[in-house]
Amino acid sequence: MNVDDYLMLSGIQHFAFCKRQWALIHIEQVWADNTLTFQGHLFHERADDPNFIESRGNIIVSRAIPIISHKLLVYGVADVVEFHRSEVGVQIAGSEKRYQIVPVEYKSGIKVYNDSNELQLCAQALCLEEMFSATIEFGYLFYGKSKRRQKILFEMQMREKVHDLITEMYKCLEAGITPKPQAKGWCNNCSINEICMPTLPNKGSTRAYMKSFLNEE
């Protein structure tokens, strides 16, 4: 498979949160911003500075690092990757010292009800492990509302779930299937709520439904 055909790593969070949301964005290519997503973009702009590298004692902080996994067939950008000085770590380019790699993902809001953010962070860790031939045991989710970090352990069950999700994502992509809408309590906060139309069940493809609606006019 060509690298250009790899799935976007950020889609893992979408897929784990709502499979229909992922399909609308990544299969049907529809998107819309709302206040929450706009705030998220602004929040990430502060974190995603590819020219930012900072040394804090025994920690090197680097932002907006392109990452990829040829095993998982995904690519993306890590908000922040910290390199912690450690004798049991790995060597990085330009240094003879060894470092433990710690990914940090920034979220503008608060912790969500499910594990979609944790799975996205774990996928980043798997990419970094492959790129640096390293073992990454944990990372952090930083939530803008609380301005606090949550430590996430990358246990085997989580790693396996990431693999399973990506496999399912590729199957959905190959089949071109958009899951049918199912109205949930969080739908009103979704930026593509009006496109998804979760209160109109069994409509299948949003594009096909809109086309038939326009033809009726």
Per-residue 3-state assignment (H helix, E strand, C coil) for the chain? CCHHHCEECCHHHHHHHCHHHHHHHHCCCCCCCCHHHHHHHHHHHHHCCCCCEEEECCEEEEEEEEEEECCCCEEEEEEEEEEEEEEEEEECCCCCCEEEEEEEEEECCCCCCCCHHHHHHHHHHHHHHHHHCCCCCEEEEEECCCCEEEEEECCHHHHHHHHHHHHHHHHHHHHCCCCCCCCCCCHHHCCCHHHHCCCCCCCCCHHHHHHHHHHHC
pLDDT at 137 over 90: yes
Tell me, what's the pLDDT at 216?
Answer: 46
What mean pLDDT do residues 77-88 have? Answer: 94
What mean pLDDT do residues 110-139 have? Answer: 93
Tell me, what's the pLDDT at 114?
Answer: 85
Compute CA distances 3 → 11, 15, 74, 165, 170, whole Å: 16, 20, 8, 19, 14
Higher pLDDT, 30 or 205: 30
Which of 14-23, 39-48, 138-147, 185-194 has the weakest average pLDDT?
Answer: 39-48
Domains with residue ranges and CATH for the chain = 3-179 (3.90.320.10)
Higher pLDDT, 211 or 166: 166
Q: Could you read off the pLDDT of 16-64 as tens digits, one per residue? A: 988 888 888 888 777 554 333 434 444 445 555 655 678 888 999 999 9
Q: Identify whether the C-beta of residue 74 lies closer than 8 Å to the C-beta of residue 163.
A: no
Q: Identify whether the C-beta of residue 81 lies closer than 8 Å to the C-beta of residue 101.
A: yes
Compute CA distances 2 → 150, 179, 211, whole Å: 35, 27, 32
Higher pLDDT, 5 or 25: 5
